[in-house]
Amino acid sequence: MKKPVIIGIAGGTGSGKSTITKELIKLIDEKDVTIIEQDSYYKDQSNLPFEERVKTNYDHPFAFDNELLVSQLKDLIAGKAIEKPVYDFSIHNRTEETKRVEPKDVIILEGILILAEKEIRDLLDIKVFVDTDADVRIIRRILRDMKDRGRSLDSVILQYMSTVRPAHIQFVEPSKRYADIIILEGGYNTVAIDLIHTKIKQILKNEQN
């Protein structure tokens, strides 16, 4: 099996990473793409009571099990299927179930801090940073957390001001310097998306030769 193309898509919360991923999948045959979300790799917290788990700072590098993520990415690169963790934000912990993920020609890794970790960066063929204004990102996060995670407006804003914004300034924003491509106003820059698609095809072609 030829080595897959690994694309890392980073950026702040609500920047449009998922939109970029969806737009790329439209250009690539879906059967050839595997998507790995960094959010699936939050650390197992079964050893902590719920009262402690709710205090988790999900925007800090320490929240992620990068050792497992790197290990499973290497397995996919080697042509091996993985059992990806499933994280449940309602209980602030992993569930007992996992999701089987098969290796494909293209692997898209999406997450806020994937460019901040050297071990992850070293596995990426294309490094993308989605750079979107803070006011747009906070509005998107409010809508997402209230709709999908049952959060109140007050709790979303409190979390944003106390942990999300400081972590973005300290960890996410500085990781932009490692990007090969910076996409402004995520999801709507069709030229940048076309460039990424062209690069993917070029790498795949080189792997076949």
Residue 16 among known ligand-binding residues: yes
Residue 11 among known ligand-binding residues: yes
The Cα–Cα gap between 66 and 74 comes to 12
> pLDDT tens for residues 106-147?
999 999 999 999 999 999 999 999 998 888 888 988 998 888
Residue 12 among known ligand-binding residues: yes
Is there a domain that residue 143 lies in?
yes
Is there a domain that residue 21 lies in?
yes
Is there a domain that residue 135 lies in?
yes
> pLDDT tens for residues 25-48?
988 888 899 999 999 999 999 999
Q: pLDDT band at residue 208, thresholds of 50, 70 and 90?
A: low
Give the range of the structural domain holding residue 183, as residue numbers without chain letter.
Answer: 3-202
Is there a domain that residue 195 lies in?
yes
Residue 99 — φ and ψ, nearest 5°?
A: -120, 125
Residue 17 among known ligand-binding residues: yes
Dihedral, CA atoms, 158, 162, 167, 173, nearest 10 degrees?
60
Is there a domain that residue 209 lies in?
no
Burial bucket for residue 182 (CB in 10 Å: 0-12, 13-18, 19+): middle
Q: pLDDT band at residue 150, thresholds of 50, 70 and 90?
A: confident
Q: pLDDT band at residue 1, thresholds of 50, 70 and 90?
A: low
Q: pLDDT band at residue 14, thresholds of 50, 70 and 90?
A: confident
Is there a domain that residue 183 lies in?
yes
Residue 98 among known ligand-binding residues: no
Residue 146 maps to which CATH number?
Answer: 3.40.50.300
Is there a domain that residue 123 lies in?
yes
> pLDDT tens for residues 51-93?
999 888 999 999 999 999 999 999 999 999 999 999 998 899 9
Is there a domain that residue 69 lies in?
yes
Tally the domains of the chain.
Answer: 1
The Cα–Cα gap between 175 and 33 comes to 25
Residue 111 among known ligand-binding residues: no
Residue 150 among known ligand-binding residues: no
Q: What is the pLDDT of the chain when averaged over all its residues? A: 91
